[in-house]
Amino acid sequence: MSADITRMAAVDLAAAMAAGDLTSEQVTAAHLDRIAAVDERVHAFLYVDAEAALATARDIDARRAAGQEMGPLAGVPIAVKDVIATQDVPTTCGSRILEGWRPPYDATIVRKVREAGLVILGKTNMDEFAMGSSTEHSAYGPTRNPWDLDRTPGGSSGGSAAAVAAYEAPLSLGTDTGGSIRQPAALTGTVGVKPTYGGVSRFGLVALASSLDQAGPFARTVLDAAMLHEVIAGHDPLDSTSIDAPVPSLVEAALAGDVAGVRIGLVRQLRGEGFQPGVQARYEEALDLLASRGAIVTEIDLPHAEYALAAYYLILPSECSSNLAKFDGMRFGLRAGDDGARSASEVMALTREQGFGAEVKRRIMLGTYALSKGYYDAYYGQAQKVRTLIARDFAEAFERVDVVVTPTAPTTAFRLGEKLDDPVAMYLNDIATIPANLAGIPGMSVPVGLAAEDGLPVGLQIMAPAMADDRLYQVGAALESALFDHFGHTTIEEAPHL
């Protein structure tokens, strides 16, 4: 029975609970049992709050029994990336410098999840401070891909992706600064969405790069992702970058799933060379399926996309060097060398030396250099100009097409350790996802089958204009339906059982 429960979609779990066929306590216990059975091998979670999760589930059941009106996802379990503040629950950002830190408040999206009646199972593993594409940069050890435990689940939200792929949670929350939701989704055969920048509150997200960070959902179906996205979306006065505008109906778009007449643009610069043959084959196949459903598929150009990676790796480190300055051992978190004989500056230096990992230090140094006197205009200033050009490229493209598509990642899941000592090779994993963050537009990764050469999941990325997130769900649901009709299953149902 527990195995049956953990393989149900979130929408089906919610319906079963609303009908009285299941209780939230049963559903939560089944997922906690699944975590106990497999997470020692997967390491998706850094902290499991079993007692609190079961208490929340019982409260939901009691309120439902008393006739209280419940949200559409009430009682459904969810996992939360460890970069998102959860009141009095450890929030480490995958770093030793925050080991054991318990925030005094909830992030806005956590508050919304609680108010909607979802049950938080725990906090998921991640690359330290969201810096990485493999979850190998976590100070607490790597997460493993449920499809092949010798491979990475992607990053930085690898724990959130792996938890959903391994049936440890039906839903999870991640963050995406340059692809950190979409790339892990592609590598684990799950659905991952980066909303429009400002469409979901960033209040309570521990900042990496404030002009790029965005929280979003992981799920096993497009409809499940739409339901969670609607829970967390909306204006937040606590976030100065939050957009004060109505959220389009994402669930309605997912349920429609019709692409007849929808204009789909293929990015000429982000296909073919540099992409694994199996990835390219599944991508082309998916486009044919969309065309068979009435979509109008045409090639477009994003002429400045080739500069996106270089611009991103100047903008992100610059903002991270500023945002991470607060971690100094003086106010919270780790404090090293505080024996009374050292100065404050010595304690700060020792704390950062012991608390930050190699990748974090690398990016802080890159960013500090790029912002330094005499180099700001040549590096950071130029990168921002490239960012503007990329945003204009997208604006021009969306005058001709409704959505833009690319492969999500250039390869399937790579082996643990394979790219760890080659930062540039690691950075190239995000070549197709970074442009959406620079432009502030929404993006989704949908699983489109398995690569022939290794049998691992492949993702297709859909991008839409800002605040047109509903288009992602419309096209994503249509593609999901077409793939099911063609293959007779979805990718995640074929994942190896742990």
The answer to whether the Cα torsion of 321, 326, 328, 333 is positive or negative is negative
Residue 179 CA to residue 171 CA, distance in Å, equals 18
81 belongs to the catalytic site:
yes
- Please state, in angstroms and as integers, the Cα–Cα distance from residue 143 to each residue in 77, 87, 167, 209, following that order: 20, 24, 15, 23
Options 133, 134, 156, 201, the catalytic residue: 156
Residue 302 CA to residue 318 CA, distance in Å, equals 25
Residue 134 CA to residue 129 CA, distance in Å, equals 13
Residue 331 CA to residue 376 CA, distance in Å, equals 30
211 belongs to the catalytic site:
no
Of 388, 424, 426, 387, nearest to 409 (Cα)? 426
Options 180, 201, 321, 445, the catalytic residue: 180
Of 179, 173, 244, 238, nearest to 208 (Cα)? 179
Order of strands, sheet of 403-407, starting from the edge strand that comes earlier in the sequence: 45-48, 119-124, 77-81, 171-175, 215-219, 191-194, 443-450, 457-463, 403-407, 263-267, 296-300
343 belongs to the catalytic site:
no
- The gap from C-alpha 214 to its chain's centroid, in whole angstroms, comes to 9
Of 159, 175, 157, 151, nearest to 43 (Cα)? 159
Residue 236 CA to residue 467 CA, distance in Å, equals 15
The answer to whether the CB of 484 falls within 8 A of the CB of 490 is yes
Residue 150 CA to residue 41 CA, distance in Å, equals 10
Of 475, 465, 463, 472, nearest to 243 (Cα)? 465
**Residue with structure tokens 């950190």?**
180
Options 24, 81, 172, 318, the catalytic residue: 81
Question: Which distant-in-sequence residues (6+ apart) come within 8 Å of 308 by Cβ?
Answer: 386, 390, 431, 434, 435, 438
Strands 263-267 and 403-407 come out as: parallel
Strands 119-124 and 296-300 come out as: unpaired
Strands 296-300 and 215-219 come out as: unpaired
> Which residues participate in catalysis according to the annotation?
81, 156, 180
